[in-house]
Structure 1
Amino acid sequence: MSFTDLYGNPQHRKNVAHFAAMATLAASDGIITDEEKSLLDKFARKLQISDSEYKEVMRPENKYPIEPPVDSEKRMERLYDLFRIIFADHIIDDEEMVLLKKYAIGLGFSEESANKVIERSVAIFSGKIDFEDYLYMVKH
């Protein structure tokens, strides 16, 4: 038995936690739309979330901690993913904004930088851009 079998794969645990954060954001308004479900399905494949993990995460009573990546670009990618799930239904409501700020801080952003990144990101996400453009625009 390998070390990762004994204690679990830390990267996979982070992926599950990130997926759970996106699912929580998608469900924050009480319903997961078809667009949000489609995007969650794409992220599940991207993050290698098994069917059983997917079902477990989607249970309303489950709570998963955010495990922030050490790398700042990876943190930005996680935040980018969160914005993609929020904007899947083309709107961002107050409850999503509150959760988004909590997740941004959980990812390692200070309150001040979280507010700036969120403000810029909301402006950017009014249109569709890819991650490289998003990363450049938020950093500059």
Structure 2
Amino acid sequence: MSISDLYDNEFRKRNKDHFAAIVRVAMSDGVISEEEKEFLDRLADRLNISEHDYKRIMKDYESHPINPPVSYDHRLERLFDLARMVAVDKIHEEEEKKILRKFCVALGFHAVNVKYITDKALELVSRGHGLDEFIDGIKNMNQ
């Protein structure tokens, strides 16, 4: 096995685990709404999840490990990626916020602050801010 194959395999595994974690969040209320299903379908496509893996993950999402980011900056990077995906999908505004709030809680943000973090994340993404500006904007949103 070449080094590039090793990285490709590890990248695909990380994408599958990341997708499974997002499915787990979507299932946290026991139901995947139509909007969430459509988002998951598009996300699977973007993460290059095969149809076989997609079906397996949807059926048994709990068998995949959850590897939440440990550092605050890594959580903000994931939030940035998720906020961009949610915003690009043009989901109805309230449904968009609901989905992103679930992701925020799963990333380890305190539930009391999730509404404010979600609103700020979507605002920063809609303004076209890059990662560094996004992180700075979230870190300094109360100032």
Question: Which range, TM-score by smaller chain?
Answer: 0.5 to 0.7
Residues 1-140 of structure 1 aligned to structure 2 (within 5 Å): 1-2=1-2, 9-60=9-60, 62-68=62-68, 75-80=75-80, 81=82, 84=86, 89-90=95-96, 92=98, 100-101=104-105, 103-105=106-108, 114-115=109-110, 118=114, 120-124=116-120, 129=126, 132=130, 134-140=134-140
Post-superposition Cα deviations, 1:66-122, rounded to whole Å, max 9, x if no partner, equal 33569976643423417939xx524549xx75x743x324xxxxxxxx339745423
Identity of aligned residues (%): 30
Highest relative contact order (Cα 8 Å, sep 6+), 1 or 2?
Answer: 1
1:69 to 1:125, Cα distance in 2 relative to 1, 3 A? closer
Q: Distance in 1 between matches of 2:6 and 2:121?
A: 41
Root mean square deviation, CA, Å: 3.9
> AA paired with 2:117?
S
Post-superposition Cα deviations, 1:26-54, rounded to whole Å, max 9, x if no partner, equal 12222212211121112111111111111
> AA paired with 2:118?
V
Q: Distance in 2 between matches of 1:22 and 1:30?
A: 13
Q: Which runs of 5+ in 1 are unaligned?
A: 106-113
Q: Which runs of 5+ in 2 are unaligned?
A: none
Bigger proportion of residues as helix = 2
The TM-score, its normalising length taken from structure 1, stands at: 0.61
> AA paired with 2:54?
Y
Q: Distance in 2 between matches of 1:28 and 1:6?
A: 33
The TM-score, its normalising length taken from structure 2, stands at: 0.60
Q: Distance in 1 between matches of 2:4 and 2:77?
A: 25
- Partner residue in 2 for 1:109: none
1:10 to 1:58, Cα distance in 2 relative to 1, 3 A? same
Q: CA deviation at 1:25?
A: 1.3
